[in-house]
């Protein structure tokens, strides 16, 4: 098969996008689930440094393009970077305490907050079908939490201290997940508003987000986190040190893989297919937690994954229908796609 045929094959970008998403989630979970890992700011700083080195290398070889650093643009974008740091920090805290399936299911709740944020601030609408998907998302989260708590009680005994400790850990995870949903929605809505001032494309956004976050994350790590030799040994035990460091690097690279493969998906498939891939992608990510991290496989956990999976499909169909109605009202000769995806395509063409 020719290189053109390979790049135009819709199966390959879909598999690459799903693989990149799984890689990022699994590598983050591997690092965070280590015995007593608590250098979350440092982990995020390493990921940002890796991302900057990688995209600058790609820019040097003219594979991608993005704007050079400008102080005025940095000042405009700094509030969004701070929101991003809040989002990714709370994400690492939630992922530390929760299993990948539960984390993935609860992440769907962000969609609800974003949808109603768009209604409030951008004149968006919520269709009955989207409302149905929101109900399924909430139901899947409730079932997932119930299954987690029931498994903890069954495994350790209802009145034991171990069960109490496990439930306390889960409650901490749910709390961080709630914070993460609000931070994620605030970041997305804030970026949508701010991006109109800067007219950033996706790689511009990636560059400024990571470049501006490095000093903030580094200072936060140095002043907030424990850098004693004893704590470093606990975070990077000698028997796992190499694999943990490699996982941190891979998780940084995976953000670029996801950006590129999502643009590749849009380029060789329709916007409908891309929307469905985003919905279906939740299933392999959730299953990866069952496969790689021995997350409990119970009737409740499997039911929650299934309901969350269905909610994603229903939401994707609702968005496709909503976009189709807009397209009929305003005819266009090009394939409809999100502004983010279009800007990514422009960046890759440049």
Each domain of the chain, given as residue ranges in start order, spans 3-349
Q: Output the CA torsion 150→155→161→162 (10° steps).
A: -110
Residues of the chain with pLDDT under 70: 1-9, 35, 158-159, 263, 266, 269-276, 326-350
pLDDT of residue 345: 39
pLDDT of residue 329: 57
The model's pTM: 0.84
pLDDT of residue 229: 93
Name the H helices within the chain: 3-8, 11-32, 40-60, 71-97, 100-107, 109-122, 128-156, 161-198, 202-224, 229-235, 241-268, 271-280, 282-292, 299-329, 339-349
Q: Are 293 and 31 in contact (CB under 8 A)?
A: no
pLDDT of residue 281: 78
- Calculate ∠ Cα 293-298-302, nearest 5°: 85
pLDDT of residue 350: 38
Q: Are 248 and 39 in contact (CB under 8 A)?
A: no
pLDDT of residue 270: 63
pLDDT of residue 219: 97
């Amino acid at each position: 098969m020719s290189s053109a045929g390979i790049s135009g094959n819709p199966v390959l970008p879909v598999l690459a996008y799903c693989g990149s998403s799984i890689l990022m989630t699994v590598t983050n979970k591997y690092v965070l689930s280590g015995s007593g890992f608590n250098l979350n700011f440092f982990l995020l700083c390493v990921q940002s440094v890796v991302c900057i080195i990688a995209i600058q290398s790609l820019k040097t070889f003219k594979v991608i393009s993005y704007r050079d650093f400008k102080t005025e643009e940095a000042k405009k974008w700094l509030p969004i970077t701070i929101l991003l740091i809040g989002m990714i920090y709370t994400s690492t805290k939630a992922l530390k305490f929760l299993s990948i399936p539960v984390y993935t299911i609860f992440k769907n709740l962000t969609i609800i907050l974003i949808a109603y944020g768009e209604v409030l601030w951008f004149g968006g609408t919520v269709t009955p079908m989207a409302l149905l998907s929101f109900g399924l998302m909430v139901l899947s989260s409730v079932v997932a939490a119930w299954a987690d708590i029931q498994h903890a009680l069954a495994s350790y005994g209802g009145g034991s201290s171990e069960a109490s400790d496990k439930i306390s850990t889960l409650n901490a995870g749910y709390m961080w997940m709630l914070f993460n949903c609000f931070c994620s929605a605030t970041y997305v809505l804030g970026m949508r508003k701010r991006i109109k001032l800067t007219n950033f494309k996706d790689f511009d956004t990636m560059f400024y987000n990571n470049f501006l976050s490095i000093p903030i994350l580094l200072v936060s790590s140095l002043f907030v986190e424990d850098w004693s030799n004893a704590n470093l040994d606990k975070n990077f035990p000698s028997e796992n040190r190499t694999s943990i460091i490699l996982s941190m690097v891979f998780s940084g690279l995976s953000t670029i893989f996801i950006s590129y493969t999502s643009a590749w998906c849009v380029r060789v498939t329709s916007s409908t297919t891309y929307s469905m891939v985003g919905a279906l992608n939740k299933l392999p990510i959730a299953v990866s937690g069952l496969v790689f991290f021995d997350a409990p496989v119970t009737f409740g956990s499997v039911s929650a994954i299934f309901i969350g999976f269905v909610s994603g499909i229903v939401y994707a169909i609702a968005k496709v229908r909503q976009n189709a109605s807009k397209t009929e009202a305003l005819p266009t000769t090009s394939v409809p796609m999100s502004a983010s995806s279009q800007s990514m395509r422009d960046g890759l063409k440049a």
